[in-house]
A and B are shown apart, each in its own frame.
Chain A
Amino acid sequence: MTTHESLLRMSGIVKEFPGVKALGGVDLDVRAGEVHCLLGQNGAGKSTLIKILSASYQPDAGVIHWDGVETSLPTPISAIKVGISTIYQELDLVPGLTVAENVFLGHEQSVAGFSQRSQSNQMVRDLMTRLGHSEISPTRLVGSLSPAGQQIVSMARALSHDTRLLILDEPSAVLDHEEVDNLFRVIRGLTAEGVAVVYISHRLEEIRQIGDRITVLKDGITVATGLEVADTSTATLIQLMTGRSIEYVFPPRPEVAPERGPVVLEAKGLSLAGVFETMDLTVHAGEIVGLTGLVGAGRSEILETVYGARRATTGTVTVDGTRIRKGSVPAAVRAGIGLAPEERKSQGLLLDQAVYRNVTISSLGRFARGGFLDSAAERRRAEELTTSLDVRPTGVTRAVRTLSGGNQQKVVLARWLLRDCRVLLLDEPTRGVDVGARSEIYQLIRSLADAGVAVVVVSSEVEEVLGLSDRVVVVREGAVVHEAPATDLDEARVLDLVMEGRVA
């Protein structure tokens, strides 16, 4: 029942965060009754765009037309009121409440403050029938449902609000094949009633199955909008997603093949039950290994297991031939491993504390005599390091919170430089780092490798993995699917491996 009138039209949407331009002018138009797919690599701005649509964020510039009328959505409630509902990847349900209580959370059916349970139960039963899942009882506890069942509850909640636009953020990520088919049936039912669906997924084959039109984002900009699924080839889509709009400057690779250096890090038969399967990882001195795959493919978990932050189910990790005690971060750090975690703010830094304290936190022993710290020496050393890394603004007694993403990352790197690490594990080292600072960080990583450090970089940005690493390891659903020198791969091949697990 697709009409050609736009239900939603967004134009020139801009959203900036300190140091990063997340969206630099995005256009999107969605028609009633269609499934509109939103495509883009990690970091392309899809999540930011949804958050603007659901009014969790306010755009810095741009116009939103809803049903032909210019609209502003100041609060999440205003978005719900006009009929926009979002179902996030992380379902926001209360597991200890029943299905009906979750569906009507925040807009309970009540008379004079007394909840009308039988009435709301009946309404939920109707909604479930409409969704084709009448087997889900309104009185069941949400915590006892499968992820697929919980997703249906989320959809019922959305529909209880007279939704006209439903946003689904990677809904198939938690579902198996059969459940995905069910989901598609539900989506088709909704579009037949005139509901518009914005569908986000990494899986191209799903988009072929369910999508009507496609909008592609790249680096916070709309590179194509309103493409008819039927008329667009997969090759075109990959081309659009990877098409370069910003050139990063990657440092040159060393002329001597780094594999000739001695093995520094060796993980053998490493596995973590339920997360990733048995894998081997060998990194030589001076080598940069890029680990890539979709979010949730187990990349971060591999790093954290090597680092001892997660206790490996099987396998051993050795540094320079010495085996490291399992599941112990202090042991890994003593052995010369350093980690720059994915979530810099929540996992990497003490945000309210001074730069120098963040630099020296892993090496306090060397500034202490009998447990007493020589703060002056700490500041001096931190000063030297941050100056050599060009951390700006300068000043080691400044709170780390006041620095930009790129400079915060340099502080984390300074921490491990101070320890003269043998192995450096970098999880998304340039996330939230602006373009200019990226090149500096790439340069820094390369110079560390040149100094003999074994580096492992996890990144969802294929371009970064290919440009920076010597060797690339692709993981998919907890297993290594491919390993090759970076020069033997190109972006399309890696994307294919990442999404399909094979080269097309």
Chain B
Amino acid sequence: MSKDTHVDVPHNTVGATGESGRVEAEGARAGESSGGAMAVLRTSAGRNLGLVVALVVICVVGTVTAGERFADVDNVLTILKLASVIGVVSIGMTFVITGGGIDLSVGAIVALSSVWCTTLATQTMAEDTHWIVMVLAALAVGAGCGLVNGVLIAYGNIVSFIATLAMLASARGLAELMSDRKTQIVRIESFKDFFGAEVLGIPVLVIIFAVVAAAGWVLLNRTTFGRRTLAVGGNPEAARLAGINVKQHTVMLYVLVGVCCGIAAIMLISRTTTGSSTHGNLYELDAIAAVVIGGTLLSGGRGTIVGTVFGVLIFTTLGNVFTLNNQDTSTQAVAKGLIIVVAVLLQQRLASRSNTA
């Protein structure tokens, strides 16, 4: 990713646009303002630097407190595998939030996709043909739920918060009905073999996350779709009057996050070898938290995939360090909450400065 240094460089010499929504003037203002740490943090390279520092600090704490058990290749791979599933969901969430919306239903869509893709019927069909059927089923369910969300929001004029809250309730309910609240075991060995494999020592799940993140970065920063997402999230009325089909674009954003949920469902099925209506519980909160501490504006118009990846890694690594130190999940939850508050307070200060400047 790019390296806009945020000094006031002559406009025509920069080749890089770097992360989206970021502009040179921001850096110029940062230079003018009081200086010091805040000024550095106001630049997006600086913001990412803050995330790197946070991650490094957590790693150092992990190494000091848990020693070998933390700084171990297997443990690092475990962290990455855990991060992968929520990571893919968070990439999708980054788009929706950048586009000015929110999706509370991601966890429920993951659950429904995982159940649908592991029903007896789907698995039988997969047995007769190929395991790819299961993948397609999960993706289709995810996309379908996203389509419903998007249409309700864009054409039904329902606030995204409400529409996806309704989807949260009904998708998980539907998952419970379909599975009869029973855990569905995956019988297809070829499916488990494929997704459980490693390539050059790297788990396939981690590779999938890397590919999704890279594709997400390109999509947000290098395509018309990404540019329109920033426009729609930054100022929907201006986007509409500039000739962008805002409604259609909104639908596409929710389909996109739905597909990400489908991918995440497959990854989760492979990690647990089960499909269940309890899968993906509270993913919406984890994903939103990762996106927000990564630096994407909750109000839309500015998004960063790199930040989101760091956000996911920070939370997952933190959880791992707590677990290795035998701290219960309650303590983890408290720490998570504190991190979110600090990150958002910081973000607000940055945002208010850029507004008054």
Contacts and interface: CB of A to CB of B under 8 A. Distances in A.
Contact of B241 (A341, A353, A372, A383): A341
Interface string A349-392: 11111100100011011001001110110011001000000000
Interface in B222-246: 222-225, 227-228, 230-231, 234-235, 237-245
B54 interface: no
Interface residues of B, number: 34
B235 A349 contact: yes
Interface in A391-435: 394-399, 401-402, 415
Interface in A421-475: none
A119 to B, nearest CB: 39
A330 interface: yes
B14 interface: yes
A397 B8 CA distance: 10
Interface stretch (B21-29, B35-43, B79-87): B21-29
B119 interface: no
User: Chain B: interface secondary structure?
Assistant: helix
A340 to B, nearest CB: 9
A291 interface: no
B201 interface: no
Interface string B281-305: 0000000000000000000011000
Contacts of B225: 371
A347 interface: yes
Nearest to B228: A364
A362 B230 CA distance: 13
Q: Which of B222, B235, B238 has the most CB of A within 10 A?
A: B238
B129 interface: no
Contacts of B26: 399
Given A341-B241, A347-B241, A397 B223 contact: no
Contacts of A380: 12
Nearest to A382: B11
A402 B354 CA distance: 10
A329 B223 contact: no
Contact of B23 (A346, A347, A399, A415): A399
Contacts, number: 106
B11 A361 contact: no
A309 B241 contact: yes
Q: Which of B14, B23, B230 has the most CB of A within 10 A?
A: B23
A333 interface: yes
Contacts of A347: 237-238, 241
B224 A371 contact: yes
Interface in A302-347: 307, 309, 329-330, 332-334, 339, 341, 346-347
Nearest to A350: B234
B241 A397 contact: no
A348 interface: yes
A396 B354 CA distance: 19
A368 B245 CA distance: 17
B23 A352 contact: yes
B11 A394 contact: yes
Contacts of B227: 357, 361, 364, 373
B156 interface: no
B122 interface: no
B24 A354 contact: yes
A361 B242 CA distance: 7
A329 B240 contact: yes
B206 to A, nearest CB: 26
A338 to B, nearest CB: 9
Given A333-B243, A364-B224, A354 B238 contact: no
A396 B11 contact: yes
Given A361-B244, A364-B227, A376 B15 contact: yes
Interface of B: 10-12, 14-15, 17, 21, 23-26, 218, 222-225, 227-228, 230-231, 234-235, 237-245, 301-302, 354
18 contacts: A329-B240, A330-B243, A332-B243, A333-B242, A347-B241, A350-B231, A350-B301, A351-B234, A352-B21, A357-B230, A361-B239, A362-B244, A375-B17, A397-B11, A397-B24, A398-B23, A399-B24, A415-B242
